[in-house]
Amino acid sequence: MNKRTSPIIIGNWKTTPATLSLAVKFVKQLDKKLEKGKIKLSKKSYYLAVPDIFIPTLKEISGGYIGSQNISGVSLGQTTGETIPSQILSGGADFTIIGHSEVRARGETADDRAHKVALSLQSRLTTILCVGELVRDKEGKYLGELEDDLKQSLLLVSKNLFENLIIAYEPVWAIGGTTPATPQECFEVVIAIRRALASLVGIDYAKKIHVLYGGTVTKNNAKTFIEEGDVDGLLIGRSSQDVETFEEIINACHSA
């Protein structure tokens, strides 16, 4: 797996928009704006994590990658109300997010994450694994906690499956707040993440795994994280739910 030369920009729609028709309208407007923009972008310049029911339709019309916001940790069988990776894939999903802070807050455990990540990567589904501290202590203990969290989440994954893994750093204290993490703070965490990955798969391979930042990303600070935070892209929530803002962020990051 080679290091990307263009940023990975992922929008997380959460429970928006209200209807499929609005989702289709958004994607068509976004693709049109990007096509007419001043910057020449790669063929697929963005990722959108959307409600599962929208995936098949948006996959057919979108100029980007379409994925899910979560998967279950169960296998094929008799479990009601859950969706497994192969089903997400067959519906058209290009990727999934696992371990988002909101999912963790609803009770997802380290064991849950480990099983989800393993099943997802075994299905060859591109997997964005989220990690991030609740609070940041001055002594730097949170860095060790992040490394432990990452190792536990990847406990069941074979080395040969890491090729489809992406890590997203989302400091919980910065999400939805007025003060995001600084690029320097992000840079320090990226080093810790790669150190943890190196302990699992070796330093050379760890350097090639893409690391993203997510936490109060706006059109004003997005480019800075790419240029100074040593990340390969961004995981964006609210700002990805507005066509103009998301388009501006995508173009800003590709110009970085």
Contact 248/219 with Cβ under 8 angstroms? yes
Contact 15/51 with Cβ under 8 angstroms? yes
Contact 234/249 with Cβ under 8 angstroms? yes
b/e sequence 112-139, b meaning 16+ C-beta within 10 Å: bbbbbbbbbbebebbbbbbbbbeebeee
Residues paired with 95 in a beta bridge: 67, 126
* Catalytic site residue from 108, 133, 147, 170: 170
| Known active-site residue 100 | yes
What is the H or E stretch that residue 231 is in?
Answer: none
Q: How far apart are CA 180 and CA 19, in angstroms?
A: 31
Pairing of strands 210-213, 126-131: unpaired
* Catalytic site residue from 100, 115, 210, 254: 100
Question: Mind telling me the catalytic residues?
Answer: 100, 170
